[in-house]
Amino acid sequence: MKAFVIESGELKLKDMEEPKAGAGEVVVSLRTAGLNRRDLGLVRRHGNHPEALIIGSDGAGIVESVGEGVSDVSVGDEVIVNPALRWYDNSDAPPEEFDILGMPDHGTFAEKVVVAAEQVEPKPGYLSWEEAGSLALAALTGYRALFTKGEVKKGDTVFIPGAGGGVATYLIQFAKNAGAKVIVTSRSEEKLAHAKRLGADIAIDTASDWKTELSGETIDLVIDSVGRATFNRSLEVLKKGGRIVIFGATTEDNVDFNLRQFFYGQYQLFGSTMGSREELRDMLAHIEQHGTHSLVDKVFPLEDAQAAFDRLSEGSQFGKVVLRISE
């Protein structure tokens, strides 16, 4: 089968052996697979290992075969792949055995993938294959950050620095579904306009003076994935006693901040990453209840996976970059 792999430090399209379902496993014939920022760092993490690794965490397709002992998944089922491995129940932090599909295990940028039967969920019928195949990682990440950690509620004002990433597009929609007011930032006028169309109430330039722009707002919750470039600026506009949830660091990982100002302000800081199967199922119920769609930026055939990577690394996308693997 065709697959997009890392081999000896390089990304390439390669013929790989088709997977077979062992006991408790299923083989999914993939229709689509979504790219995530995580994928961009895997070449460095994999290093120069000569053994080819199929990358990719998100995907959706049709169950082609099931292994011994599988009873709750059937051949022909339309499913999405849950990329959060071995994290079943909602907990304060993931269990030790938690990992993410696509390294060290073979991932979804291939015509087929084998996973444990417990790692697939029914595809929401109203979603297109492109929407379903790019849903799980980003939407689950956003759902846990906003609801489990951020405890958003109706009437809250939520501030989201960086409006263009895949998680942010779900955060905007989920927060609006919950009855919150949403404020976003971006350096791109086009992305600010997209965010407004998606439901953001206020969209401001990242380079503006946030304290001035938001002087009339009371921000209850910040959801930030940018890191050093925005952390202190976000704290400046967060209300005293407010909550800030960090789920990524697209700029530098290390942040300096004034600890005395922090504890005097009674701020609450939470870390978050991915989510459990329980939260994934809650998220799927949430989107079906509200008719929420994934926002797809651009779709590339598997043969043009490198172009899809280039699109994501440029940072010009609004929404998800998707690979179409089969019709």
Least confident stretch, 8-12, 229-233, 295-299 = 229-233
Q: How do residues 235-259 score in pLDDT, each as one tens digit? A: 999 999 999 999 987 777 888 889 9
The pTM for the full model equals 0.95
* Per-residue pLDDT at 61 exceeds 90: yes
CA distance 113 to 71: 19
pLDDT at 163: 81
**Residues 109-162 pLDDT 10s:** 999 999 999 999 999 999 999 999 999 999 999 999 999 999 999 999 999 998
| Distances from the Cα of 29 to the Cα of 2, 32, 125, angstroms | 12, 9, 17
What lies within 8 Å, CB to CB, of 112 at 6+ separation is 1, 18, 19, 27, 28, 29, 30, 64
Q: Which one, of 183, 171, 194, 252, lies nearest residue 220 by Cα?
A: 183
Average pLDDT (191-197) is 94
Asked whether 292 and 148 are in contact (CB, 8 A), the reply is no
Q: What is the pLDDT of residue 185?
A: 95
pLDDT, tens digit, 9 for 90 and up, residues 288-311: 999 999 999 999 999 999 999 999
Q: List the one residue out of 273, 154, 163 whose CA is nearest residue 221.
A: 154
Within 10 angstroms of residue 22's Cβ, the number of other Cβ atoms is 13
